[in-house]
Structure 1
Amino acid sequence: MRQTFDETTDPGFGARHLPLLRREMQAQGLDGFLVPHEDEHQNEYLPAANDRLAWISGFTGSAGAGVVMKDKAAVFADGRYTVQVKAQVDQGQFELRDFNETAVARYLSEQPKGSVVGYDPRLHSPDALARMQKTAKRAGVTLKPVDSNPLDSAWGAERPAQPQAPVVPHPLEYAGEDAADKRARIGRAIEEAGADMALLTAPTSVAWLFNIRGGDVIRSPLPLGQALIDGDGRARLYLDPAKVTNELPGWLGEDVTLEHPDTLAAALDETSGRAVLIDPGQSAAWYFDRVEAAGGTVVRGQDPCTLPRAVKNPVEIEGSRQAHIRDGAALARFLHWLDTEAQQTLPDERAVVEKLEQFREGTGALMDLSFDTIAGSGPNGALPHYKPVTRTIRRMEKGSLLLVDGGGQYLDGTTDVTRTIAVGEPSDDKRRMFTLVLKGHIAMAVVRFPEGTTGHQLDALARHPLWMAGHDYDHGTGHGVGSYLGVHEGPQRIAKAVNTQPLLTGMIVSNEPGYYREGHWGIRIETLQVVTPPEAIDGGERPMHGFEQLTLAPLDRRLIDVDLLTIDERAYVDAYHAEVLAKVGPLLDGAVLDWLTVQCAAL
């Protein structure tokens, strides 16, 4: 479980691996080849065997892409990985470019007319491919699907084996709903969508629907597999037999058949005359092509498990509460260490990350981290998704700030929290900016909103105090979070970008406004919160949703400029800190409890 820090990888990757890939490309008559970060399951985090972009380039970020041509190559990474991609990728072999929805297509349009660029249809969504094909065609570049991935052939015997972690039941005491009932619900949704069956390729959907968990993917308890589910709720689950435990068949029940993954293609070949629901946002183009070639009808639509999974049931919500109380005790011990010993020894970011993980492991319930911990000291904190990598690790510095963003995977819930800590005495400027971020955070915590409201419609509330002072931040304000599943979960989100999914009772979202002064320091405050049922407001005419705070970790009082807070905002901070002390305090004693009591005193 220990987080690793050897993130520079081997700078010789490109020099060694590019010739191997180019040889395979030449054998297939290709002038270029697309290397997405995504694997066959469109995962954010990948098993080593599927991290093709890392093998060819050395870049290990959770998003990005690569294009390899005969005489040049490029790696694409977004602003989260500015430091990491430069540390990991040999710029003598790869050009580094910013990553966005059109970046790869734009690069393809720059290639010589007549170029043939291959792609593996198992790794690209149909919509992403359509965008690239449109741009490439205008430029006279042909995108060609390959039956055999040339990168996989080049990787050869050195490629790690596919993971075979045991697939285990996720008990009802954590899941809150029997898998048979879930399948019945999903079956009805399939029929309502005008389909006979649905193809599920997202491991999160497979894990949720069958109440199972696995260990094939780091930071997420996912089993790699697929499923076909019929309108009557019967299903075929495609799992490597090596991952099937003795208890699994009985757990799944007689209406679920376990199949070998190699037989899925044949099953799709038998869909003639049937309508198959497939999500173009979560399934690769290969599945669409296979069903259509078989004479089946593809019904393009959202994975039917996506929305039910996002709306947590009462058991899952209570599990999340308990996970956050447990996690809160670990955070209190960590923040106490930062405020005492670390203020004197000024450890580096690596030591900070390891210390936080030690405290989480000390709960005795941690299954994994929910993502690689972010710890940014001074200028590194100004990079919103910075990871401490060997060439960039800094020590804590007096007079600066430390931003720490991390989370844990527990059987009863997934956590994700960010706190910003003053190292030494903060300046008035830092206190002012922290308090502006805090004001936006509070606005998002206390807002009431009617049914049908989307996260897009709320986003400006978190930014308003910063906007009024001429500032902003360039990431979203909130993402969905799973229940012992992925730390990033849709379809809900809070961001400037338009999102049509209303916030529904039981959805968990993060609340994480920030401010980043490039080259100096960064501030972010992140708390998870769950949407509450609509309730009447005294004197109001419509019931309103709200948020219940789940994360329980004190704010750094030294960074709060109380004079900038309204009376109501001060009351919120006092009430929040009182709740932290009441729920987390019983798990602490001695110096840590004394420290937390002081931190949670009224402003």
Structure 2
Amino acid sequence: MTYIEKLQALRDLMTAQNIDAYIIPAADPHISEYLPAHYKAIPFASGFTGSAGTLVITQNFAGLWTDSRYFSQAETQLKGTGYELVKLIVPHTPEYIDWLPGVLSKGATVSFNHQLITVALAIDIKNKLEQQEIAVKDVDFISTVWTDRVGLPAEQAYLINEEAAGLSISAKIEQVRAVLAQNGAEYHLISSLDDVAWLFNLRGKDVDYNPVALAFALITPEEVKLFIDEQKLSQSDKEILKEQGVNLYPYQDVAGALTQLPEYTRIFIDPKRTSFGLYQLLPKEAKIISGINPSTYLKGLKNQTEISHIRKAMLQDGVALTRFFKWLEDHLGKEKITEWSAAEKLATYRAEQASFVGLSFNTISGYNANGALPHYTVTAESDQEITGDGLFLVDSGGQYHYGTTDITRVMPVGNCTARQADDYTLVLKGLIEGSKLIFPTGTKGYQIDSICRNPLWEHAINFGHGTGHGIGFFLNVHEGPQSINPANLDIPFKPGMVTSIEPGIYRPEKHGVRIENLVLCVPHGSSEFGDFLAFETLTLCFIDTTLINKSLLTPDQLTWLNQYNQQVFDQLQPLLSTEESEWLKAKCYPI
């Protein structure tokens, strides 16, 4: 079927059931950011492959609501599909909720699959639409139209041992139970895959780039239930789970378990990471205690074992990156290198590392104009040769048994312009200002965000994405609870949090610059004014200095840069060949 035919098929089903608008979110029952193929409904229906977006279909209009990261991509991919791009004004907001009452009459019906929308969002939709006398209905039309849909993933899952995780499963369960008790909760439903993975020291391959397995968890006063396809686990892992106080149940049985809960139970759920469909199965008399999953907070604070392992992952990643950039410099102009082949070569160097498991996300490999697309995905059609003059941006990361990495670097190719040099230097200033920051306990991400953006704001420049996100320990490359962005998120930074710092400048159809490191929040000391924190940079890859406009850097910023590059050389040099070491030494030479 063509996309036009699929759209018509959906509209025919809407007509048959008197549905006036149908919402298709980018989600699965676990409210995941990255989806198993079975749940990639938006690519199936519209051809759009970005990781964030929502389709809304009426009989007269079909639109994709997405944010500025994907505007160019969406405009290209939606051509001839029957869908139009609707540009979000505020990223990550459901602006279609306010749009629907303007195009629907009173008495209309809006539908969506309740298993694929969060509790918080579904309640927001219902409240706003029902005020306008528009009904909301639970419908799944995608399953009817998607006749060749792939099944649920059945990849093997496994447990990582306590020596790698730093805590046993039972110890983590005790930590979660303690938080539940503080909140007056008896039960706790966990749907988010990374939270389940952390709690049970469980890893899998059900989702590209994220080492997670499809599973739900339910903590009760009597037991801990893990809902998972048992065939994914080895017999020894099943025995370990049992020894740690975990009982296994079939994946599909989570719905029945919720319907059988005691009537007046007190249950803790995360309304932003739990589907409305599961929420509706809870007893009507149940007391719902809402908040961020306790495991999300606990997972965000890396223990000393995890931190030690993360440092090992950074060493391996740094070696791979050094070899890649040396190869790139040695071969540019001598053989044809494209965005695609460069990304493949980088993946090869990572795969040579002993503890490498896979990539942590789809590599962003963009030259000149393609680098101006923050979430660019190279395809056979868009692939450009890296030749001539310009900037090559590569945002990439790896999953290692020791941890997860995420890094962005920009390399000059040929001769670059003064504007490119200035943009590069201003972005570097933003990275440095965030990285060397010393701040009091209680500081939130939005406060740090403004400090990182200030060097750009001084030149009337801004960027449309967040400045930083949390990073998992051999888990999702994006995790909470902390972030560095303009949103007024009431989450203070604490020691043990690993976060990216990644300011950028994007000039459409010209070039893009983003420089990204991962940092660890650490104690800095105390004074009569309280306790203070700082960031320790974990990423180990040189920052190219050939494009820097030194006049834009302060002495403190220049000192930070030179010290950082020296640290990179000192730590990576013992792991490199003599030739590689000499090359890296030149790249790290102070300026």
Task: Tell me the TM-score normalised to structure 1 length.
Answer: 0.93
Distance 1:76 1:349, change over 3 A: same
Work out the CA distance in 1 between the residues paired with 2:447 and 2:549: 28
Q: Which of 88, 96, 104 is residue 112 of structure 1 equivalent to?
A: 104
Work out the CA distance in 2 between the residues paired with 1:470 and 1:55: 40
Work out the CA distance in 2 between the residues paired with 1:488 and 1:374: 15
Verify the 8 A CA contact 1:343 1:424 in the aligned structure 2. no
**Aligned partner of residue 290 in structure 1, secondary structure:** coil
Work out the CA distance in 1 between the residues paired with 2:479 and 2:343: 24
Identity %: 34
Work out the CA distance in 2 between the residues paired with 1:349 and 1:578: 29
Displacement after TM superposition at 1:401 (Å): 0.7
Verify the 8 A CA contact 1:174 1:315 in the aligned structure 2. yes
1:284 partner letter: S
Q: Name the structure 2 match of 1:51.
A: 40
Q: Which of 85, 107, 110 is residue 96 of structure 1 equivalent to?
A: 85
Matched, 1:585 2:585: no
2:119 partner letter: P
Q: Which of 321, 324, 347 is residue 331 of structure 1 equivalent to?
A: 321
1:235 partner letter: V
Verify the 8 A CA contact 1:167 1:215 in the aligned structure 2. yes
**Aligned partner of residue 559 in structure 1, secondary structure:** coil
Verify the 8 A CA contact 1:343 1:423 in the aligned structure 2. no
2:575 partner letter: L
Matched, 1:244 2:244: no
Q: Name the structure 2 match of 1:6.
A: none
Work out the CA distance in 2 between the residues paired with 1:133 and 1:347: 52
Deviates most, 111-120 or 40-49: 111-120
Verify the 8 A CA contact 1:366 1:410 in the aligned structure 2. yes
Displacement after TM superposition at 1:62 (Å): 1.0
Q: How does 1:147-296 map to 2 (within 5 A)?
A: 149-156=140-147, 158-231=148-221, 234-254=223-243, 255-271=245-261, 272-293=263-284, 295-296=285-286
**Aligned partner of residue 103 in structure 2, secondary structure:** coil
Work out the CA distance in 1 between the residues paired with 2:115 and 2:79: 28
**Aligned partner of residue 247 in structure 2, secondary structure:** strand
Q: Name the structure 1 match of 2:587.
A: 599
Distance 1:303 1:49, change over 3 A: same
Q: Which of 27, 49, 70 is residue 38 of structure 1 equivalent to?
A: 27
Q: Which of 112, 115, 130 is residue 123 of structure 2 equivalent to?
A: 130
Distance 1:554 1:343, change over 3 A: farther
Verify the 8 A CA contact 1:104 1:132 in the aligned structure 2. no
Matched, 1:496 2:486: yes
Verify the 8 A CA contact 1:511 1:527 in the aligned structure 2. yes
Deviates most, 553-562 or 239-248: 239-248
Q: Name the structure 1 match of 2:57.
A: 68
**Aligned partner of residue 273 in structure 1, secondary structure:** coil
Work out the CA distance in 1 between the residues paired with 2:427 and 2:153: 42
**Aligned partner of residue 332 in structure 2, secondary structure:** helix
**Aligned partner of residue 96 in structure 1, secondary structure:** strand
1:151 partner letter: I
Verify the 8 A CA contact 1:199 1:229 in the aligned structure 2. yes
Displacement after TM superposition at 1:550 (Å): 0.7
Verify the 8 A CA contact 2:268 2:291 in the aligned structure 1. yes
Q: Name the structure 2 match of 1:566.
A: 554
Work out the CA distance in 2 between the residues paired with 1:184 and 1:487: 26
Verify the 8 A CA contact 1:31 1:116 in the aligned structure 2. yes
Q: Name the structure 2 match of 1:8.
A: none
* Number of matched pairs: 585
Q: Name the structure 1 match of 2:452.
A: 462
Work out the CA distance in 2 between the residues paired with 1:346 and 1:536: 55
Work out the CA distance in 1 between the residues paired with 2:87 and 2:229: 37
Verify the 8 A CA contact 1:169 1:213 in the aligned structure 2. yes
Distance 1:207 1:593, change over 3 A: same
Verify the 8 A CA contact 1:200 1:303 in the aligned structure 2. yes
Displacement after TM superposition at 1:389 (Å): 2.6
Verify the 8 A CA contact 1:378 1:521 in the aligned structure 2. yes
2:207 partner letter: V
Work out the CA distance in 2 between the residues paired with 1:372 and 1:452: 34
Verify the 8 A CA contact 2:69 2:464 in the aligned structure 1. no
2:228 partner letter: L
Verify the 8 A CA contact 1:64 1:76 in the aligned structure 2. yes
Structure 1: 5+ residue runs without aligned partners? Answer: 1-11
Q: Which of 530, 534, 548 is residue 546 of structure 1 equivalent to?
A: 534
Displacement after TM superposition at 1:78 (Å): 1.7
Q: Name the structure 1 match of 2:137.
A: 144
2:134 partner letter: V
Structure 2: 5+ residue runs without aligned partners? Answer: none
Work out the CA distance in 2 between the residues paired with 1:336 and 1:530: 28
Deviates most, 163-172 or 523-532: 163-172
Verify the 8 A CA contact 1:13 1:57 in the aligned structure 2. no
